[in-house]
C-alpha cells in the first residue's frame, strides 16, 4: 500500500484471519426519542462490578459512604431536573436500579428535556465526583448503562417489585459475582 508521501507500508496479514473484533451491541433503540414521556428502567453497574456501595444483609442494603452518595444523587436527579420523577430505585453493592418517568409537560416552563443518556451521564458524573472527593479515587462506573422502556402496567409492576425485592434476592443476583453479597470496600 502506498501512502500520500509515496512511502511503502507493509502489513502483516499472516494472523489477520484469526483476529476477532468485538461488535458492540447497540445500547439504545434505534430511532427512539429517549427524552419522550415514558417510564424508563435503568441499571448502572460499577466498573468490573466491584462492591463499592455496601452489602446486602437480612433482605436490606447496608450502604457505606459511597452507597449513600449514590442514593442521595438519585434524589438529586429529581431536584435538578423537575421533569424527572423517580418511581422506585435501589442502590445495590455494585449496581443501581432506577425506575423513572419523564414528564414533558414541564417543557413549557422553559426547561430543555434531557434524554435518559444525558440524565444518567449527569448522575454518574456527580456520583463519581463526590466519591472521588471523599478520597475513593479508584471508583469508576462501567461504561454506559442498560435501559428498558416500560410499555405496559404489567411490565411496570414486575420491574417495580424486582427493584423493591432486589436486596432480598442479592445472593442469587446476576450482578453478584462474589456470591456472598458482603463486601464493605
What's the 3-state SS for 13-30? Answer: CCCHHHCCCCCCCCCCCC
C-alpha angle with apex 112: 110 to 117, nearest 5 degrees? Answer: 160
Residue 111: predicted pLDDT: 73
Question: What confidence tens digit (pLDDT) does each residue in 151-181 have?
Answer: 899 999 999 999 999 999 988 776 676 644 4
Residue 30: predicted pLDDT: 61
DSSP states along the chain? -B-TT--B-----TTGGG---PPPPPSS-TT--TTSS-EEEEEEEBGGG---SEEEETTEEEE-HHHHHHHHHHHHHHHH-TTEEEEEEEE-SSEEEEEEEE-GGGGGGTPPPPPHHHHHHHHHHHHHHHHHHTT-TT--BPSS-EEEEE-SHHHHHHHHHHHHHGGGGGGG-TT--SSS-----
Considering the chain, what percentage of its residues have pLDDT values greater than 90? 55
Torsion region of 6: left, alpha or beta (phi above 0 gives left; psi -120 to 50 gives alpha): left
**Fold of the CATH domain 32-170:** Alpha-Beta Plaits (3.30.70)
Residue 16: predicted pLDDT: 39
Residue 104: predicted pLDDT: 80
Question: What confidence tens digit (pLDDT) does each residue in 105-163 have?
Answer: 766 567 788 888 899 999 999 999 999 999 999 999 998 888 888 989 999 999 999 99
Q: Which of 147, 160, 161, 150 is nearest to 45 (CA)?
A: 147
Given a cut of 90, whether residue 32 has pLDDT beyond it is: no
Mean pLDDT across the stretch 93-115? 84
Residue 21: predicted pLDDT: 43
Among the ranges given (61-70, 80-89, 148-157, 176-185), the one the predictor scored with the smallest mean pLDDT: 176-185
Mean pLDDT across the stretch 80-97? 95
Residue 10: predicted pLDDT: 40
Torsion region of 48: left, alpha or beta (phi above 0 gives left; psi -120 to 50 gives alpha): left
Residue 151: predicted pLDDT: 87
Amino acid at each position: 500500500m502506498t501512502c500520500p508521501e509515496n512511502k511503502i507500508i507493509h502489513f502483516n496479514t499472516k494472523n489477520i484471519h484469526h483476529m476477532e473484533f468485538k461488535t458492540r451491541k447497540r445500547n439504545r433503540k434505534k430511532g427512539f426519542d429517549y427524552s419522550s414521556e415514558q417510564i424508563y428502567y435503568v441499571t448502572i453497574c460499577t466498573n468490573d462490578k466491584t462492591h463499592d456501595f455496601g452489602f446486602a444483609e437480612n433482605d436490606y442494603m447496608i450502604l457505606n459512604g459511597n452507597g449513600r452518595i449514590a442514593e442521595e444523587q438519585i434524589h438529586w436527579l429529581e431536584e435538578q431536573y423537575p421533569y424527572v420523577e423517580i418511581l422506585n430505585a435501589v442502590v445495590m453493592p455494585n449496581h443501581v436500579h432506577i425506575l423513572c418517568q419523564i414528564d414533558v409537560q414541564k417543557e413549557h416552563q422553559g426547561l430543555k428535556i434531557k434524554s435518559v443518556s444525558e440524565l444518567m451521564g449527569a448522575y454518574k458524573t456527580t456520583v463519581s465526583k463526590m466519591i472521588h472527593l471523599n478520597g475513593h479515587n479508584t471508583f469508576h462506573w462501567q461504561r454506559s448503562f442498560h435501559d428498558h422502556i416500560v410499555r405496559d402496567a404489567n411490565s411496570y409492576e414486575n420491574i417495580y417489585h424486582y427493584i423493591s425485592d432486589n436486596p432480598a434476592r442479592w445472593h442469587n443476583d446476576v450482578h453478584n459475582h462474589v456470591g456472598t453479597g458482603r463486601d464493605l470496600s
